[in-house]
């Protein structure tokens, strides 16, 4: 297998006249020394001549109408495929309903806050009386009393 010539990618642009004058002169001098690039350029010229000899293609009179009808059909199919098809195909609706019912049952059984204890209800009912006690202000210290060293005085 032969290594491609570094000038080979420029041959098509050279043939079409798309290169700058400097690059075009560089490719032209390279063609004098490289038989592989000359063969490739002749192949490109031959293919170009074949394509130019083809009659121009003209769409039929109904092309525009049929094209847009096909586009609309494909858009409608893709919309149906994206939204309706997953919900109405096979067992998916049944599974979705079962999972939703299970989720609601679990939330009803485990969800919510537990009811308040009688002590909490009593405190909530009589909070205005308990606000006056200094002990309530020291509640955090009383909750952590077992870790508090009472033998030390205030620091």
The mean per-residue pLDDT over the stretch 146-151 comes to 60
CB 42 within 8 A of CB 75: no
The mean per-residue pLDDT over the stretch 8-25 comes to 87
- DSSP state, residue 10: G
CB 62 within 8 A of CB 36: no
pLDDT-above-70 percentage for the chain: 70
pLDDT at 143: 67
Give CA–CA dist 14/28, Å, rounded: 9
Give CA–CA dist 90/72, Å, rounded: 27
Res 14 pLDDT > 60? yes
Of 39, 47, 31, 27, nearest to 2 by C-alpha is 39
- DSSP state, residue 20: -
Res 153 pLDDT > 70? no
**DSSP letters of 93-142?**
HHHHHHHHHHHHHHHHHH-SPPPPPHHHHHHHHTHHHHTT-HHHHTHHHH
- DSSP state, residue 147: G
Alpha-carbon distance values, 52 to 11, 16, 45, 55, 81 (Å):
18, 13, 10, 8, 43
């Amino acid at each position: 297998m032969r290594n491609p010539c570094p000038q080979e990618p420029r041959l098509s642009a050279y043939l079409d006249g798309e290169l700058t004058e400097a690059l075009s002169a560089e490719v032209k001098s390279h063609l004098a020394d490289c038989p592989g690039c000359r063969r490739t350029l002749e192949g490109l010229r031959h293919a170009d001549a074949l394509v130019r000899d083809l009659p121009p293609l003209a769409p039929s009179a109904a092309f525009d109408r049929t094209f847009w009808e096909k586009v609309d059909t494909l858009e409608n199919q893709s919309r149906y495929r994206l939204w309706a098809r997953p919900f109405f195909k096979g067992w998916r609706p049944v599974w979705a309903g079962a999972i939703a019912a299970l989720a609601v049952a679990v939330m009803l059984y485990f969800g919510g806050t537990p009811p308040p204890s009688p002590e909490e209800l009593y405190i909530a009912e009589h909070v205005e009386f308990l606000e006056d006690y200094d002990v309530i202000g020291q509640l955090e210290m009383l909750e952590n009393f077992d870790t508090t060293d009472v033998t030390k005085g205030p620091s």
